[in-house]
A and B are shown apart, each in its own frame.
Chain A
Amino acid sequence: MGTMSEFANPAVYVVEGLLVFFILWKILSARRGRQLFIRRIPGLSVLDEAVGRATEMGRPMLYAPGLSGLDIVGLQSMAIMSHVIKHAANYSTRVIVPLADPVLYTVAEEVAKDAYTTQGVPEQFMAEDIRYLTSQQFAWASGVVGILHREKVATAFYFGYYYAEALILAENGQMVGAIQVAGTPAITQIPFFLAACDYTIIGDEYYAASAYLSREPTLLGSLVGQDYGKLLIIGLVLLGVGLVTLKVIEPHVPLLHGFNTFAYNLFLKYFPRT
């Protein structure tokens, strides 16, 4: 087997090229007006219920983007936050956003301001609701726990990158009786959210959230392109499993040697094992 390189190899050109092609192709076809279907995601369908509950109880909502910085995870979290704030603005419900990254804080402030303006209620934007707490992991967690208890939030959204603080937040949310919705690309934290939250979106549903909530053709098209990409990955995994199995049984079937060498040079050597 080859070794890992920090730069692209021919397999990366082909696979990444195909993934990019699928995504752009589907975005363009969606923008041309093609109707696309998106399955129901329970954790995101509950948004109206969650906002309604907070409104009825007269309590604020909390939207915590975790320890995300200004990266893809953080930007996706901001996209979801924008939709949450737009929903909340319709019912004049406060959304408190505690942040752990100063760069993301500046983006969050602008996104929140824009969301209120879009809904025609710019006066509802309160600068102190978009709060930079600290960049320290557990100091941030204790700050958010404090907000959960002091403000007695009715609904808590946890969308972003989380580490060990995930369970601390979700358990304290349980204690104050908040309805909790979580989504994180941090695989190690998903079980904790599953155990402690009412709804958890898993894996790439995190990146599907903005498409699901906005139903924008561009985002829906991108989502369908991602599904084609997943089919491609499944195909590659099956092909790899087949070829590696043939390699393993080669000592018992010497006839396979020529084919295996050909398959290795053409395919397997470009997928090095770490």
Chain B
Amino acid sequence: MHSLNYIPLALASGRYSSLILLAYILGALVIGIAFLAGLMATPPRYRKIVVMLVTFAGGLYFSLEFLLPHNPIYIGKYMIPGSRGVANLANGLTAAKPSVADWAMIIGSFALLLGVSNLFQIHGKAVRKKTPGWYNSLAFFITFFLIMIVGFLKDYKLGFLGSHNAAAFQAGSGNLYNILFNGFVQSLDATMFSLIAFYIVSAAYRAFRVKSAEAALMMGTAGVIMLGLVPVGAWLTNWLPHTGFFASMRLEQITYWLLIWPNMAVQRAIDFGLGIGALAMSLRIWLSLERGSFFDRQL
């Protein structure tokens, strides 16, 4: 278990390991809540400084981890003085990455509670006020608690029922969980996903209406690609040779060329723009230069 890395092994594997683990979890919760409460109680002027410092430290960690050389640097046979120390630091930062990821996960867990409280607030209000469709909100509460309870019970043996009954109860909970998850959640997911097929048809109908030269070009290209990807496309130009100059006139070859060359070039151009945009945005956030949304008025 990765999380046990933080707990001294002698304590974690001892007789009271469960209690110690519980104490650690509760301790972490208390410290986390105290830190958040402290941050909220801090006057906005100072809170802004704390947020800026934490943001900068986070950005610095990942920048250094990526940018610092992870091996000593040699010029010919001679190692640049200090480069071993830098490499050790870089490797240390890389080794700490799983722990940093855990931190991010822990913060995310706090936020999940807030998300669930928002769901309870909205659906609770709908049920209380009997707004139109309130029964859907009631269904939310029933399914939420049902899958949560069954999810716990399938992994936990209720000792007070006796070993035989507890095993049967656990198996029953497992079956019910499978019905709820695989039978309902997965099937509903698949249903939503399969709707895309119908939406593609209606979107394509609108997109392929030839209203301008560009739309005609797109329509023509889409037609060639669609034909090139189905067997009938290959059949249509099967009379052309498989090798030589005229082979490139075969529909599947034209399709391949369109997808791999012009299409890929455009995608990469967009990717470069996006990459530079993301870099600029990251830089602004890292250095607290972002204005208008996060750093000037809000905090």
Q: What is the interface of chain A, defined by CB distance below 8 A to chain B?
A: 7-8, 12-13, 16, 19-20, 23-24, 27, 72-73, 75-76, 78-79, 82-83, 99, 102-103, 105-106, 110-111, 114, 118, 127-128, 130-133, 136-139, 141-142, 150, 164-165, 167-168, 170-171, 174, 185, 187, 190, 192, 194-196, 202-204, 206-208, 210, 214, 216, 218-219, 222-223, 225-226, 229-230, 233
Q: Tell me the residues in window 24-70 of chain B with beta carbons closer than 8 Å to chain A beta carbons.
A: 66-70
Q: Give 19 new A-B contacts, CB below 8 A, not counting A102-B113, A214-B292.
A: A20-B279, A23-B279, A79-B292, A102-B112, A102-B114, A103-B111, A105-B114, A106-B111, A106-B114, A138-B188, A185-B278, A195-B207, A203-B277, A204-B276, A207-B274, A207-B277, A216-B291, A219-B290, A226-B273
A195 contact set on B, CB distance < 8 A? 203-204, 206-207
Q: With an 8 A cutoff between CB atoms, is B293 at the interface?
A: yes
By the criterion CB–CB under 8 Å, are B272 and A233 in contact?
yes
Q: A187–B282 Cα gap in the complex (Å)?
A: 20
By the criterion CB–CB under 8 Å, are A131 and B122 in contact?
yes
Q: How far is the CB of B146 from chain A (nearest CB, A)?
A: 16
Q: With an 8 A cutoff between CB atoms, is B75 at the interface?
A: no
B276 contact set on A, CB distance < 8 A? 19, 204, 226, 229-230, 233
The verdict on A8 contacting B66 (CB below 8 Å), with A105-B114, A114-B298 known, is yes
The 18 sampled A-B contact pairs (Cβ below 8 Å) are A23-B283, A72-B278, A79-B293, A82-B292, A102-B108, A102-B112, A114-B298, A127-B121, A131-B122, A190-B270, A195-B203, A195-B207, A196-B203, A207-B277, A207-B281, A210-B293, A229-B280, A233-B272
A187 contact set on B, CB distance < 8 A? 267, 270-271, 274
Q: A133–B284 Cα gap in the complex (Å)?
A: 30
Q: How far is the CB of B207 from chain A (nearest CB, A)?
A: 4
Q: A193–B112 Cα gap in the complex (Å)?
A: 30
A141 contact set on B, CB distance < 8 A? 192
Cβ contact of A206, chosen from B206, B277, B289, cutoff 8 A = B277
B contacts with A, residue count (CB < 8 A): 59
Q: With an 8 A cutoff between CB atoms, is B294 at the interface?
A: yes
The verdict on A72 contacting B122 (CB below 8 Å), with A8-B67, A136-B189, A171-B203 known, is no
Q: Mark B108-120, 1 if CB is under 8 A from A, else 0.
A: 1001111110110
By the criterion CB–CB under 8 Å, are B292 and A210 in contact?
yes
Q: A167–B207 Cα gap in the complex (Å)?
A: 13
Q: Closest residue of chain B to A236, judged by CB? A: B272
A139 contact set on B, CB distance < 8 A? 185, 188-189, 192
Q: A163–B68 Cα gap in the complex (Å)?
A: 34
Cβ contact of A203, chosen from B68, B273, B284, B292, cutoff 8 A = B273
Q: With an 8 A cutoff between CB atoms, is B164 at the interface?
A: no
Q: A230–B277 Cα gap in the complex (Å)?
A: 10
B278 contact set on A, CB distance < 8 A? 72-73, 185, 207
Q: Tell me the residues in window 216-250 of chain B with beta carbons closer than 8 Å to chain A beta carbons.
A: none
Q: With an 8 A cutoff between CB atoms, is B202 at the interface?
A: yes
Cβ contact of B273, chosen from A23, A130, A194, A204, cutoff 8 A = A204
